[in-house]
């Protein structure tokens, strides 16, 4: 087995006793179906213990808690938490707005018109939105995934924004990147090697 140089160096320290313990997830019993409206409850199969990530600290700037909740719902990331100070393992999710050349000119004109009409006309912007998922070990990036899409947004300057600055379409797209990230992370060789080595140094305790 090829050992990860970051872990072999001795920098990886478990933040607590619970850090080295494996958690077996047992799917909940399906909800009983009613006679009038039968409901089929689909319970995802628990991830094999060997593929479950150890406790990982989450640091994100995108869409409040929405992406965090979606990622944590995946069995592989069940130990993802915002409250792991000092953890050497971190999933960092950030976003940026990259204004296009045409969008810069249109946005300036739109802003002038919106201001001159006291907000009667909306501000129109055109940006490339980039969302970056980065798995970090002891401050060193291990794997990075970037998703990018262009959006044109029209917003009244006095309106209350409930989309975290992404717009309705942008927020829907941001949520959809979680599935892309989970699929990519599941096939990432560097992440798989890290999980394997962590299991070597912190083996799961046998069930009593």
Over residues 28-70, the pLDDT tens digits come to: 555 555 444 444 434 445 555 557 889 999 999 888 889 999 9
Residue 16's pLDDT band (cuts 50, 70, 90) = very low
Q: Which residue has better confidence, 189 or 85?
A: 189
Q: Give which of 171, 176, 189, 63 is closest to 135, Cα–Cα.
A: 189
* Distance (Å, whole) CA 174 – CA 168: 10
Question: Please, what is the Cα angle at 149 between 123 and 111, to 5 degrees?
Answer: 15
What was the pLDDT predicted at 164? 77
Cβ atoms within 10 Å of 12's Cβ, excluding its own: 21
pTM (two decimals) = 0.66
Predicted confidence at residue 176, as pLDDT, reads: 95
Residue 197 pLDDT: 87
Helix (H) or strand (E) segment spanning residue 173: helix 167-186
Query: CA torsion sign, 11 to 137 to 56 to 184?
Result: negative
Which two structure tokens, joined as six digits, stand for 152? Answer: 């044109």
Residue 97 backbone dihedrals phi, psi, to 5 degrees: -110, 125
Is residue 26 predicted with pLDDT exceeding 70? no
Contacts of 170 (CB under 8 A, 6+ apart): 129, 149, 151, 153, 163
Residues 101-151 have pLDDT tens digits of: 654 545 554 555 445 454 545 666 778 889 999 999 999 999 999 999 988
């Amino acid at each position: 087995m090829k050992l990860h140089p970051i872990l072999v160096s001795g920098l990886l320290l478990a933040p607590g006793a619970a850090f080295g313990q494996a958690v077996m997830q047992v799917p909940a019993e399906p909800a009983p179906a009613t006679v009038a409206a039968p409901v089929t409850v689909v319970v995802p199969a628990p991830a094999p213990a060997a593929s479950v990530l150890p406790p990982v600290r989450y640091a994100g700037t995108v869409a409040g808690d929405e992406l965090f909740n979606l990622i944590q719902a995946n069995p592989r990331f069940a130990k993802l938490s915002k409250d792991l100070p000092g953890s050497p393992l971190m999933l960092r999710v950030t976003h940026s707005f990259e204004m296009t050349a045409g969008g810069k000119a249109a946005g300036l004109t739109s802003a002038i018109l919106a201001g001159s009409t006291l907000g009667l006309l909306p501000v129109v912007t055109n940006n490339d939105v980039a969302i970056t998922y980065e798995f970090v070990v002891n401050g060193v990036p291990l794997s990075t995934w970037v998703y990018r899409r262009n959006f044109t947004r029209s917003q009244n300057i006095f309106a209350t924004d409930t989309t975290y600055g992404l717009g309705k379409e942008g927020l829907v797209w941001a949520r959809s990147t979680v599935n892309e990230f989970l699929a990519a992370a599941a096939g990432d060789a560097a992440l798989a090697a890290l999980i394997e080595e962590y299991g070597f140094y912190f083996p799961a305790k046998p069930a009593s």
